[in-house]
Amino acid sequence: MSAQTQLAADEKPWRRPGEKPFIRIKKLTKKFGDFIAVDDVSLDVFRSELFCLLGGSGSGKSTLLRMLAGFETPTSGTIEIDGQDMAGIPSHERPTNMMFQSYALFPHMSVEQNIAYGLKRDGVAKSEIADQVADMLGLVQMSNFGKRKPDQLSGGQRQRVALARSLIKRPKLLLLDEPLGALDKKLREETQFELIKIQESLGITFMVVTHDQEEAMTLATRIGVMNYGEIVQVGEPPEIYEYPNTRFVADFIGSVNMFEGRVKEDDKDFVRIESQEAGTEIYVGHGVSCSPDQKLWFAIRPEKLILNRKRPDGDSNILKGMVEDVAYMGNLSVFRIKLDSGKVVKATQSNRVRRDDEAISWDEEVYLTWDETAGVVLQS
Amino acid sequence: MTKRFRFLPIATFLGFAFLYIPIIVLVVFSFNKSKLVTVWGGFSTHWYGELLQDPQILGAAWISLRIAFISASLALVLGTLAAFVLTRLGRFWFKPMLSGMTAAPLVMPEVITGLSLLLLFVAMESMFGWPAGRGFTTIVIAHTTFCLAYVAVVVQSRLSDIDESIEEAARDLGAKPVRVFFDITLPTIAPALMSGWLLSFTLSLDDLVIASFVSGPGASTLPMVIFSKVRLGVSPEINALASLMIGVVALGVGLAAWQLLKSPRTKPVE
């Protein structure tokens, strides 16, 4: 779907041990008074990556981005870009450019003047600037709008101008703060793919801050999930979705059903979990490093649950409950099923046929089951 | 509904009539042929011609214009600096007090401002000999002081309206802080600066009370000359002069308002 599918596994630099990172963030901390905005973050980003920092508001993702741009000074820790330490280098001398959430277009300048500004400050020759501005306008499909002022443009057009302005100096690192946040849903989806296309054609390393997990999944080569100033997990989108390492990540990315339980039997190849909440024994088909009787959580995505009217065979991984609600979403239906323990479980089914008279409906008693490798065991 | 419909236009009409009929009367009578101010003797521009031959009035007008120009310019620089401090210096505990103190001269009785400045100037002269005596310089200083407050208020409201990320964007694109100020900040606040200057200019031109306190021999401003002449009886010549002043002031305030209106918006549209 996105950039990562076009790279073969061994071409992914973050999978090659010993590969030199392009951006190296080491033990970075930023405090505002007593408030710790960014807490001891270490992160490596590689050349030509499209890295997404994902987190809720106040998670410190924007502060991290602003430290890379040079707008905030780290309290401690270091930032290295392409081998160069960024400490003490002011923002106007950094090899980075930023696209602002508000776009921050200069209101008194035309689109062309806005885009040309960076080159003009670098003392590039006038004819050269004109050529490059024309190229950039073409790249973001705004060639016919060069003479307009920002207040004569729509939101989507302004977004393109802001992107062109931040790209024209070919920065080593482009920082994007919620680049699509101000666009409506339809436009956002289209723009996501354009952004990927532009990033791939220029080969510039992108660092995107977003709170929108769908956006992060679509755009990113890798995602860093942030919470309370810390990076909780770094991984490729499927890794983050299928193998979250904490309850926070599992819950933040997509929707999930979580069952609290205790280890009943722990073997090299499997684990049995006793869960009161689930009302069934959970059998996990792989080894988990845990101790007997340890408290842990079992997380399973709604689309991994299989709905049945009849009780499936076997004696583990079977939930019994009553359909409380069915939400028809078009492409799929979401079932809310209340278990005997009172816990409500979400399950989705894709609507493969147009009309199904046999479809499971309200107040029916149903069984839910899942593959022994479909869920994740979480320790924290 | 109908009641309100009738009430509002009438109230508006009466309000404006109350404000402007005296001025209209004054302007009309400035074209009076008769030497008697209150008796209409036919249309004439005679008094305007007379005005241009009165060296006392012309001299005072020249002094007033120079004072207004210099003190408006000084107030612009100082007021803008104050506005920057109040919007950009972050939060500190005495900021509300500072903000209030900047705006206080707007509501301070002129008599008190004038008197306190006079006392200051006298004390300064006896302590280190400057400003020597009262006159042009002291009026300029006094006018700068109270005009500064107007500039600070106007510029401050504009500055707090600016999306600060446009300055960050310029820095990010390679502009040094000084460059950012001239390329980005100054053009965006220019309308406010212009209107602050014009406002100061007209205020200085209008002022009688403060100038009377701090003026000295040989430095009579136009309002001071008018006032002293009126005490000897209103002449049609003064009517003509007043009409001209109304014209200049109205032009200044009008330009100031227009400058503020045409400034482009910088806040992102929601």
Give domain limits for chain B.
55-262
- Quote the CA–CA distance of B87 and B81 in Å, as a whole number: 10
Percent of chain A with pLDDT over 70: 97
Question: How confident is the model at residue B269, as a pLDDT?
Answer: 41
Question: How confident is the model at residue A8, as a pLDDT?
Answer: 55
Q: State pTM to two decimals.
A: 0.80
- Quote the CA–CA distance of A183 and A192 in Å, as a whole number: 11
Higher pLDDT, B100 or A6: B100
Q: Closest Cα partner for A2 from A254, A237, A219?
A: A219
Tell whether A333 lies on the interface with B, counting CB pairs under 8 A.
no
Lowest mean pLDDT among A94-103, A149-158, B89-98: B89-98
Among A90, A93, A102, select the one facing B165 at the smallest CB separation: A102
- Tell me the CA distances in angstroms from B69 to B65, B158, B198, one per residue in order: 6, 23, 9
CATH class of segment(s) B55-262: mainly alpha
Tell whether B17 lies on the interface with A, counting CB pairs under 8 A.
no
- Quote the CA–CA distance of A355 and A342 in Å, as a whole number: 31
Residues of A in contact with B185 (CB under 8 A): none
Q: Mutating which of A32, A62, A72, A92 best tests the B interface, going by the most B Cβ atoms within 10 A? A: A92
Question: How confident is the model at residue B111, as a pLDDT?
Answer: 94
Q: Is the pLDDT of residue B1 over 80?
A: no
Test B169 with A106 for CB contact under 8 angstroms: yes
- For the record, the structure tokens of A333 come out as 């239906």
A335: left (phi over 0), alpha (psi -120 to 50) or beta: beta
Rounded-to-10 torsion of CA A288, A292, A295, A299: 30
Taking CA–CA distances from B179, the nearest residue in chain A reads: A121
Domain residue ranges in chain A: 3-95+171-250, 255-378
Q: Is the peptide bond before B131 cis (omega within 30 degrees of 0)?
A: yes
Question: How confident is the model at residue A1, as a pLDDT?
Answer: 40
Question: How confident is the model at residue B264, as a pLDDT?
Answer: 58
Q: Closest Cα partner for A44 from A77, A71, A12, A81?
A: A81
Taking CA–CA distances from A107, the nearest residue in chain B reads: B266
Tell whether B253 lies on the interface with A, counting CB pairs under 8 A.
no
Among A70, A96, A108, select the one facing B187 at the smallest CB separation: A108
Question: How confident is the model at residue A2, as a pLDDT?
Answer: 43
| Fold (topology level) of A3-95+171-250 | Rossmann fold (3.40.50)
Instruction: Return the number of CB contacts < 8 Å for A and B.
Output: 73
Test A92 with B264 for CB contact under 8 angstroms: no
How confident is residue A170, by pLDDT bands cut at 50, 70 and 90? very high
How confident is residue B4, by pLDDT bands cut at 50, 70 and 90? low
- DSSP-assigned beta bridge partners for residue A175: A98, A207
Q: Is the pLDDT of residue B91 over 80?
A: no
Q: Mutating which of B91, B162, B171, B173 best tests the A interface, going by the most A Cβ atoms within 10 A? A: B173
Percent of chain B with pLDDT over 90: 44
Q: Are A78 and A43 in contact (CB under 8 A)?
A: no
Q: Are A171 and A92 in contact (CB under 8 A)?
A: no
CATH class of segment(s) A255-378: mainly beta
In angstroms, the separation between the Cα of residue B83 and the nearest Cα of chain A is: 21
Q: List pLDDT tens digits, range A206-244.
A: 999 999 998 999 999 999 999 999 999 999 999 999 999
pLDDT (mean) for A346-364: 87
Question: How confident is the model at residue B162, as a pLDDT?
Answer: 86
Question: How confident is the model at residue A7, as a pLDDT?
Answer: 53
Average pLDDT, chain B: 87
Question: How confident is the model at residue A77, as a pLDDT?
Answer: 95
Taking CA–CA distances from A93, the nearest residue in chain B reads: B174
Tell whether A352 lies on the interface with B, counting CB pairs under 8 A.
no
Q: List pLDDT tens digits, range A40-58.
A: 999 999 999 999 999 998 8
pLDDT (mean) for A162-170: 95
In angstroms, the separation between the Cα of residue A88 and the nearest Cα of chain B is: 15
Q: What is the 3-state secondary structure (H, E, C) of chain A?
A: CCHHHHCCHHHCHHHCCCCCCCEEEEEEEEEECCEEEEEEEEEEECCCCEEEEEECCCCCHHHHHHHHHCCCCCCEEEEEECCEECCCCCHHHCCEEEECCCCCCCCCCCHHHHHHHHHHHCCCCHHHHHHHHHHHHHHCCCHHHCCCCHHHCCHHHHHHHHHHHHHCCCCCEEEEECCCCCCCHHHHHHHHHHHHHHHHHHCCEEEEEECCHHHHHHHCCEEEEEECCEEEEEECHHHHHHCCCCHHHHHHCCCCEEEEEEEEEECCCCEEEEECCCCEEEEECCCCCCCCCCEEEEEECHHHCEEECCCCCCCECEEEEEEEEEEECCCEEEEEEEECCCCEEEEEEECCCCCCCCCCCCCCEEEEECCCCCCEEECC
In angstroms, the separation between the Cα of residue A172 and the nearest Cα of chain B is: 13
- Quote the CA–CA distance of B136 and B114 in Å, as a whole number: 15
Give the strands of the sheet with A50-55, arranged side by side. Answer: A96-99, A173-177, A205-210, A50-55, A222-227, A230-235
Q: Are B255 and B198 in contact (CB under 8 A)?
A: yes
Question: How confident is the model at residue A355, as a pLDDT?
Answer: 83
How confident is residue B92, by pLDDT bands cut at 50, 70 and 90? confident
Question: How confident is the model at residue A42, as a pLDDT?
Answer: 95
Handedness of CA B141, B143, B149, B153 (dihedral sign): negative
Test B169 with A100 for CB contact under 8 angstroms: yes
pLDDT (mean) for B36-56: 85
In angstroms, the separation between the Cα of residue B182 and the nearest Cα of chain A is: 13
Q: Are A169 and A118 in contact (CB under 8 A)?
A: yes
pLDDT (mean) for B87-115: 86
- Quote the CA–CA distance of B189 and B180 in Å, as a whole number: 13
Taking CA–CA distances from A122, the nearest residue in chain B reads: B174
Test A107 with B188 for CB contact under 8 angstroms: yes
pLDDT (mean) for B124-130: 90
Cβ neighbour number for residue A263 with a 10 Å cutoff? 18
pLDDT (mean) for B21-41: 85
- State the angle between helix axes of B2-29 and B236-262 in degrees (0 to 180), rounded to the nearest 10: 130
Taking CA–CA distances from A114, the nearest residue in chain B reads: B170
Test A107 with B268 for CB contact under 8 angstroms: no
Q: Is the pLDDT of residue B96 over 90?
A: no
Test B168 with A91 for CB contact under 8 angstroms: yes
pLDDT (mean) for B147-156: 92
Match 């149903």 to its residue by tokens.
Answer: A366
pLDDT (mean) for B168-172: 95
Q: List pLDDT tens digits, range B51-77.
A: 888 888 889 999 999 999 999 999 999
Q: What is the 3-state secondary structure (H, E, C) of chain B?
A: CHHHHHHHHHHHHHHHHHHHHHHHHHHHHCCECCCCCCCCCCECCHHHHHHHCCHHHHHHHHHHHHHHHHHHHHHHHHHHHHHHHHHHCCCCCCHHHHHHHHHHHHCCCHHHHHHHHHHHHHHHHHHHCCCCCCCHHHHHHHHHHHHHHHHHHHHHHHHCCCCCHHHHHHHHCCCCHHHHHHHHHHHHHHHHHHHHHHHHHHHHHHCCHHHHHHCCCCCCCHHHHHHHHHHCCCCHHHHHHHHHHHHHHHHHHHHHHHHHHHCCCCCCCC
- Phi, psi (rounded to 5 degrees) for A346: -100, 135
In angstroms, the separation between the Cα of residue B87 and the nearest Cα of chain A is: 18
Question: How confident is the model at residue B257, as a pLDDT?
Answer: 83
Let me know the angle formed at the C-alpha of B65 by B63 and B70, rounded to the nearest 5 degrees.
Answer: 95
- Tell me the CA distances in angstroms from A106 to A75, A148, A216, one per residue in order: 31, 12, 28
Alpha carbons within 13 angstroms on the beta-carbon side of residue B202 total 21
